[in-house]
Each structure stands twice: as C-alpha cells, then as structure tokens.
C-alpha cells in the first residue's frame, strides 16, 4: 500500500513528501468541496429555510448538531477502530494504520467536543438546562474523556511498536462506549426521546447537505492530520539518526560519520569530549587531547 511516498534528496530542501502529487491535489479538492458545502449549509440554514412550527428558529441547529455528532460517533471512531484493529492484526500490521488511528483520534476529539457544545446550546432553550447528567449526555462526555486519554497515552515516551500496541488497545476500550451512546435512548429514559422535530422539504435538504459538508470537513482534517503524523514519524527517525551519529562521534573522536547522517549544529565529528570513567579510556587513543575544561592543573 503506497499511501505514503518518501522522497529523499541531497542538499538544501531535501525532505519527505507524505503524499504523492495526485493525492495532494485530491486532498485540496476535498478541502475546497468542504468549504463550498459548509458555506451553502450556513447560507441555507440561516437565511433561506423557514423557522420550525414546533422549535422556531432553534431548528437551525439541526443543520449542525446531528451532522457533527454523526462524524464524531461513526466516522471518527470508525477510522480509529479500523486503524487499531488492522495494526494489531499481524498480517496487516503497518505503521500507516497506527498513524490513521492517531489522526482519527485527534479529529474525533474535536468533533466530540463540538457535539457536546452544540448539544448544550440546543438543550438550554429546549430542556431548560445547559447540562444534565442524562444517559446520552454522560456517555458522550465519557467518550471525549476516553479520547483525550488515548491522545495523552500516545504522548508517553516509548518505542514506536510499544506505543502503537498500547494505543490500539486503549482505542478498542474507548470504542466500547460508542454502542452505549447509540442505545442510551432505548436503554434508559433520556431527554432526547422527548425531542420532536418537523423537518421536511428544504429544511430536510439543508440538513442532509450538512451531513455531506461535515463529512467532507472530516475527510480533509483526517488527511491533514495523517500527513502531520507521517512527518512526525520521519522527524523522530531523523532525530534518532542524529543522536546515534553524535554518540558515535563521542565514542571515537575523528571517526567518520555514517553517510546520510547530519550532526547537530556546532557538533563536528572530530571534536574533543570529556572522558567517561569506565566507559572509554580516551587517553590511550592516538591523537587524543583533553579539553581545556578537563585538564588537570599541576
């Protein structure tokens, strides 16, 4: 699967391109489509569609809240679960799936927070409260907490395989809350079961357009986050190469640094370094000279 294309070059400007040129154009087109459809949804929702006979102008939040919840609950967590399962499965294990899960977790946290925010704005005039420890609201809030915990776990220092494994397990644990959120209306008495809406005609068309718009927004954000994850992985690999090269230069002053590895600024390969007792008897090395800070007086 050639989803990530690495291009290394020599000289200034060399680096990594996580996507092929065709994929980059596709992502740009998705972003443009997301902007256009979102703008149409806002225009239709605020100025074209009429107020609802039951909810009045509050119905305009319907064009935003359900689509955002759809993205958070199904698309983001679907991608998170897919990436985690395919990384854990030995036959399909590949760094791409771990990066997909990481990107989906970040985007999913954004949309889950938006779901809670728009739901609170909707709930205040509808139910008379900004927040209630309702089964669906509480399970949705737990979903956000689990996502934030997943993202925090990914920041714990570890080698890539260990980090990917424990993150994938944490993601699957968080996924257990998704069916609870979905079936909470059926399992318990919640505020959502009393909600009545009369959505027809252009109002229904605008809501469906909202689903399309936020799905495109999610796709663009996921692709962008995935690109960032690929660049981050490349940066970590480069930092490891630099650290190994620095250690190599410290252990053997004057030795050649492996080709393709660049030392940090101000770190020449043949520099003099202090002696670490018990590790390297540098005094026995021909041509060794102690740095001025380490020379003994008298």
**pLDDT given at position 283:** 43
Look at residue 238 and tell me if it is in a domain: no
Cα-based torsion angle of the residue sequence 214, 215, 217, 221 in order, rounded to the nearest 10 degrees: 140
Q: At 185, is the pLDDT very low, low, confident or very high (cuts 50, 70, 90)?
A: confident
Look at residue 37 and tell me if it is in a domain: yes
Q: Do the Cβ atoms of 140 and 112 come closer than 8 Å? A: yes
What residues have CB less than 8 Å from 98, skipping those under 6 apart? 83, 87, 160, 164, 167, 168
Q: What is the pTM of this model?
A: 0.75
Q: Do the Cβ atoms of 195 and 134 come closer than 8 Å? A: no
Domain count, the chain: 1
d(CA 229, CA 100) in angstroms, rounded, equals: 8
d(CA 291, CA 274) in angstroms, rounded, equals: 7
pLDDT (average), residues 234-254:
70
Look at residue 112 and tell me if it is in a domain: yes
pLDDT tens for 47-97 read 999 988 878 888 899 999 999 999 999 999 999 999 999 999 999 999 999
What residues have CB less than 8 Å from 197, skipping those under 6 apart? 52, 54, 55, 59, 62
Look at residue 296 and tell me if it is in a domain: no
Q: Do the Cβ atoms of 169 and 226 come closer than 8 Å? A: no
Look at residue 64 and tell me if it is in a domain: yes
Task: Provide the mean pLDDT of the chain.
Answer: 80
Look at residue 58 and tell me if it is in a domain: yes
d(CA 270, CA 276) in angstroms, rounded, equals: 17
Comparing 129 with 171, which gets the higher pLDDT?
171
Look up the CATH number of the domain holding residue 129: 1.20.120
**pLDDT given at position 255:** 54
pLDDT (average), residues 125-145:
89
Quick check: 289 pLDDT over 60?
A: no
d(CA 243, CA 246) in angstroms, rounded, equals: 5
Beta-strand runs (E) in 149-292: none
Quick check: 219 pLDDT over 80?
A: yes
pLDDT tens for 245-286 read 777 777 766 555 555 555 554 444 444 444 444 434 444 444
Give the orientation angle of helix 177-187 with respect to helix 135-154, to 10 degrees: 180
Print the domain residue range for 62: 28-229
Q: How far is CA 105 from CA 26, 137, 155, 229, 287, in A?
A: 22, 20, 13, 12, 54
Look at residue 294 and tell me if it is in a domain: no
């Amino acid at each position: 699967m050639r989803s990530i294309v690495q291009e290394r070059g020599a000289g200034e400007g060399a680096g990594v391109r996580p996507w092929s040129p065709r994929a980059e154009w596709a992502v740009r087109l998705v972003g443009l489509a997301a902007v256009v459809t979102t703008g149409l949804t806002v225009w239709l929702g605020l100025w074209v569609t009429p107020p609802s006979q039951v909810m009045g102008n509050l119905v305009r939040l319907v064009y935003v809240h359900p689509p955002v919840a759809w993205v958070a609950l199904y698309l983001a967590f679907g991608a998170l679960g897919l990436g985690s399962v395919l990384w854990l499965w030995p036959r399909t294990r590949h760094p791409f799936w771990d990066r997909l899960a990481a990107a989906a977790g970040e985007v999913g946290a954004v949309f889950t927070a938006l779901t809670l925010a728009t739901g609170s704005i909707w709930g205040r005039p509808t139910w008379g409260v900004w927040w209630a420890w309702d089964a669906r609201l509480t399970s949705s809030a737990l979903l956000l907490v689990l996502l934030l915990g997943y993202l925090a776990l990914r920041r714990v220092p570890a080698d890539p395989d260990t980090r990917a494994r424990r993150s994938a397990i944490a993601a699957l644990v968080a996924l257990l809350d998704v069916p609870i959120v979905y079936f909470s209306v059926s399992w318990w008495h919640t505020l959502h079961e009393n909600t009545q809406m009369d959505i027809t005609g252009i109002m229904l068309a605008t809501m469906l357009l909202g689903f399309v718009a936020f799905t495109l927004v999610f796709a663009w954000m996921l692709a962008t986050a995935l690109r960032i994850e690929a660049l981050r992985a490349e940066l970590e690999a480069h930092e490891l190469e630099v650290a190994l090269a620095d250690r190599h230069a410290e252990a053997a002053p004057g030795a050649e640094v492996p080709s393709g590895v660049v030392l940090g600024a101000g770190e020449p390969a043949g520099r003099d370094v202090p002696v670490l007792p018990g590790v390297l008897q540098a005094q026995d090395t021909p041509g060794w000279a102690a740095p001025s800070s380490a020379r003994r007086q008298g």
